[in-house]
Structure 1
Amino acid sequence: MKITAIVAAATAVATVNAHGGMIEPMCRAISTMKLNIDSTFGHPINMRGQYTNGKGGECFGFTPDTNLQPIPYGESKIKMRANDGANHVGPCTVYLIDPSNKENKLKVGEMNDCMRSLHPGPGNKGDKPIPAEMTINVPKDNLPCKDGHCVLQFYWEATHLTPHELFDNCADVKIGGGGGGNGTAPSMSPSSSPSSAPSPVGPVAPTDAPSPPGPVAPTDAPTKGPSPPGPVAPTDAPGPAPGPAPGPAPGPDSKGEYEYIGNHPDKAGMNTWCNQNCPAFCPGDFCKKK
């Protein structure tokens, strides 16, 4: 039984280079925070905190979603995709986390150098996304969940930068709930890109992947913008810390031309999200034109 999670990069407002993030299970950044597509997927953790109204940049601190999405026991597939310049070196890891204690976590999937393997060279805005599959393995015992409720975190490290650039997305899930995805994100055919199927391991904390042999040039150039209230670490190029990218402005509301067609109970909020992001980023199984 497959659970899809698509690593999607924004091709809309070009204030930052597109990166990636999980859209199914639907992440908190969209379902409860209503962040626009660049703030959801384009900003690393240390920059994203500027746009979350005091909830920080880590997705675990975002408003929880009471609409728990089902994840089965055992092996299942998550789907990823990378586009534009998202050819960073470093691992992608999937964790299940205790919703009341972020230190209590269990690694259920990992893929070394995942984005680089999908996107070996610099991309261009508007390039067709590159899909792939990754296996996760959820055991029946020793889960960090509360009454079956876990936070599923997709965590991606860009280890070619110092300090490492970090990205994450979180979804609230129900373990053993049966069924696959909830039909709120675009479906994609399986890719032939390599995948790995790790066995479940005990609770661990995120670790940094070893740096690849030889120097690797950063792929994204930093952008300029107003300085945030506090210091911000470098984003996409080593050296002195640049000013962070300005917060991407939401797209025009299209005068209500689009509507949400998924299953999330907050229809009004998701309609607003669709009208803020369409047509620049408008998944066909997520939003549609009236």
Structure 2
Amino acid sequence: MKVIDPGLMFINKHGQINSAQDVLAYADFLLEESGQDHVIPVDLSLIFKRFQIPTPIQKPLPGQQGLLLDATNGIVVINSNDPPSRQKFSQAHELVEFLFNSLPNEKEIGNGWTLKKPGGFTESMKEYLCNRTAANLLMPPVYVTNQINQHGANFDCARIISSECEISLSAALVQVARTSRGNHSVVLWKLKNKPSEIKNEVSNAQLGLFDDSSSLPAMKLRVEWSMGSDSAPFIPKDKSVEETSLIFKACQTGSFTSGEERLCLDGRKSRVFRTENLPFSMNGGTQVLSLIEHI
């Protein structure tokens, strides 16, 4: 059977793709075409079947979660080493890649020069939109809003969404943060050194200025990544958190913490935040997943 290009069909129905909102509308299109309006959990196999796309191939993909290998023949490869919830999100992401594959990949900038901008977006914006649209496909905003109205924007709400949508808790938490009316961020904290500290250590070792023993400062609990609502303040990567904070307490005790506290998260000014912090073990160390409300 010949693959029906979902991206091309969407463009023919929706019209020209000019904005992020145009891309986000693709999630509703996939749900409608597969007969899954207001259905939770979303069955991605019905979407693949609707467009006669073969079942994704599972293979180890070091450093990658998924790959649209051949859009014409619908060949999608998913990292077999990832947990099922991560694989499900990766499949949704690759379905959005079909849309970008149907859009121009370059933009003329004059004098024979072209700029690589898939669909008119930067590469980083394209990846953001793929992830955002995949999240809306698996956790429709209308459904998430209903859950927030019932339970509030918190970990309990995210746990319900994670269970009902069969998706990871972190993905559900990010969707809660982005859908809620408040200014919420989701932050993953990890004990580590700043990149500049590691760079200086390597430089000193190469110059032979010190002996073989490490001169690295003690590791601090730092931002690994941060995502949130469009109105939430920016929290920079590698920003450390105070050892007196509830966030650090969660890491130190291995117990869930929550409450209001004053923190400096932008490196400039301290403010009052409401935080919920879940510690967990990863690769022999403790990390903390936080939902932070900017009060």
**Bigger relative contact order, structure 1 or 2, given CA contacts below 8 A and separation 6+?**
1
For the pair shown, the structure with the greater C-alpha radius of gyration is 2
Q: TM-score, normalised by structure 2?
A: 0.21
